[in-house]
Amino acid sequence: MAKSWLEWVAGMGDVSWDRRMHPAPDIPPLQPTDFDPLTGTLNWVKFTEVLEATRSQSAGALLVVDLDDRSSAIDMIATEHGADVLPWLAQAIRQAVRADDLVSHLHGYRFAVLLRGAAPEVATSVADRVRESVEDTMFTTVAGAARLGVAIGGVIFDSSGSREGDLVQSAAANLDAAQSTASQVKIR
């Protein structure tokens, strides 16, 4: 849990580094067609364009968020009303990140979050805020209500290209590892 409400809102934690003082690099102009109409998140094609551009210009982190094992109640609801839950899940994730960060729906209940210009400590702090935001949201459909939890895997990258390979696959592998830990978060 964040130390204080003000620190949570400001995106600050135990570290003194403030991302608000370090603006994220500019992204290409976004059009209405660049957004998923169901979730309100950036579509995957545009997200990957921005991810590759960001990766070559600056440091950052890529998080992959998915439901954890405690969210088995959603399986009942998902059969008929899964699309009703996705917009709420996307909103819970978006409200935990700053406006300059980007969220995209991958598939199922899996989302990707690009933290542009984020230091490694910040990525962990944001992951904790995303988990809190989802856990604090009551997901309701006509079939019922459920509390959900998420597991988060992530990778840190910098503009030097020191991290070779597919960032999304690396983050997804860390997500798989995170789902078997108590903290439900693994970022490297």
For residue 40, give the CATH number of its domain: 3.30.70.270
Whether 35 shows a pLDDT value over 80: the answer reads yes
86 found inside a domain: yes
Is the pLDDT higher at 24 or at 61?
61
Q: Report which DSSP code applies to 85.
A: H
Give the pLDDT mean for 21-28: 62
Count: domains in the chain: 1
Residue 171 sits in which domain range? 32-187
CA-CA-CA-CA torsion sign (108, 75, 62, 112): positive
Contact between 61 and 123 (Cβ < 8 Å): yes
pLDDT computed for residue 2 by the predictor: 42
Among 182, 187, 129, CA closest to 2: 129
81 or 48: whose pLDDT is higher?
A: 48
Cβ atoms of 139 and 70 within 8 Å: the answer is no
175 within some domain: yes
